[in-house]
Amino acid sequence: MKIPYIPEDAPFNGEQKFWLAGFLAGLHSRLLVLEDKPQAGAAAAATTQLHILFGSQTGNAEALAQTAAKAARAKGLVPVVQGLGEVDIEVFASMRHVLIVTSTYGEGEMPDNAEMFWQALSASTAPRLEQMHFAVLAIGDTSYDGFCQSGKFFDMRLEQLGAKRVYDRIDCDIDFEEPSSAWIDSSMPQFAASAGSSGTALENAPEAPVIPGSNKNNPYASALVTNKRLSGDASGKEIRHFEFDLTDSGLKYEAGDALGVIPVNDPLLVELLLAQLKADYQTPVPGFDRSLGDLLTYQFEISEPSRKLIEWVGQNTTNQELRHVLQHDDKDALGVWLWGKDTLDLLQLDLSRTLSSAEFVTLLRPLQYRAYSISSSSKAHPNQVHLTVASVRYHSAGRARNGVCSTYLAERVGRGGKPAIFISPNKAFRVPANSAAPMIMIGPGTGIAPFRAFLQEREAAGATGKNWLFFGDQHQEHDYIYQDELLAWHESGLLTHLDLAFSRDQAEKIYVQTRMLEKGAELFAWLEEGASFYVCGDASRMAKDVDRALYEIVVQHGGMSAERAGDYIDQLKKEKRYLRDVY
């Protein structure tokens, strides 16, 4: 509390002013004493607050933040869980105990909901944080450059600003559940001691029963009732529509969520690996209760080589190209060398020593689920969930190569087959809460998936807001997926605008960002009316091109400088009106 300033022209005489200033100063002192007493109700709660802030692209970090909140309550701490994008830097500076849980997106980038907070924290104007006690839990994927880079950045920057580390950072790979859980359990007593918590557990709300399909550790075996090709036979792509039966499952999802599918590896690749290892399917593996064939089929990634395997092969091969690339730590050159190669390719190099089956499995990563944007609304399809998936197929070194999960669904799960699935919530990608607000959706190729769900959602809810979709692919004749549905929605008026961009139907390539720029004046007018702007699809190129086009539109049609345009788009992000589901 600050003592109010009493201006010279206040209607008090000198004696009254002196008395009033003394009274306020005394009141201020009493309040400070009360604030310092941990037993004083709300003030006590404030001293034991643990702010758990998450940066999440797909929901994993947010789920871990909730797990940490439960552990915090067990130690008498008062958890306050927020997305980093919701935190003002000045408010952050007042926090005393902070746990940051963050994923890393793409090649070492901040998650979308953490980007603006990071800009403020990394700026030269960021406040000092000497009163803060913190720890960082980072999750990532070692197959990407910049593994857990976001967490490393936060950890380093908080220390630079004077914050005190309560517990050393952990960097978790894709199988993060066990190490992160152990880290949370170990870090909470440290936070409790730092915060002066009594350690008495706070009352938790009763936990709801875990429904099969609500997380990846407890999947649901759902019947695949529809598997049809959407793209034409002459298309360069194979895009398929899948429908899973949820009748009596108890599973709920919202438009914008993803569906996790736990794949089964290609039996042909398993067979080739077994032959290369001079083993058979039933070969036992010390330390495992499953045969080698079962491990390679159900438990480990055998398509994309792990970093451990690449390094082992590099140390035990006569292949000079791989040895040279690894010795010079040239990540770009390594990526070029690895393109199109799988685990079998590495084992077929000239090796200086034999790799045993037991040693081989220790060099593999756990088989991971694949997450696909859901392309249906539960309001329109209460007993089903739909996916729109491109089957990955190509040839390399005289051998056919297949996407692990996409071709598992396309050709190895028969009608009525029951792949293991689960709902992966994405609370940061939702239709506007205001049903009258306009939506602008950019979704080329399979990026249309969540927007099909959004349109079904708005139609079922009777939403009155305008809807604008930018869709495209290579050729209109072969790649115009969901054409009948989109045209019907356009004719009914649900889809106010439908702009198409088929890149290879003319000499000059046309993309969705091309169409955006052509309609820039109207697009900016929609933003001014309160429209939300959504992007789904390829992160490495399309999403970046769309972002650049949006900046250009705001500059040109908003009459703004580049700096003001950046502020305008940052404000869209703060208002959660610029949302991305990119991969």
3-class DSSP string for 342-384: CHHHHHCCCECCCCCHHHHHHCCCECCCEEEEECCCCCCCCCE
pTM of the model: 0.88
Residue 60: closest CA among 178, 125, 140, 133: 140
> What's the CA gap between 271 and 441, in Å, rounded?
44
pLDDT recorded at residue 559: 97
pLDDT attached to residue 8: 41
Structure tokens at 391: 């089957």
pLDDT for residue 198: 78
| The predicted structure's pLDDT at residue 205 | 60
The answer on pLDDT for 474 being more than 50 is: yes
Look at residues 148, 222, 259 and name the one whose alpha carbon lies nearest to residue 581: 259
* pLDDT (0 to 100) of residue 175: 87
Tell me the pLDDT of the chain averaged across its residues.
Answer: 91
Q: Which of the residue ranges 257-261, 315-319, 456-460 would you say has the lowest mean pLDDT?
A: 315-319
Cα–Cα distance measured from residue 573 to residue 110, given in angstroms and rounded to the nearest whole number: 14
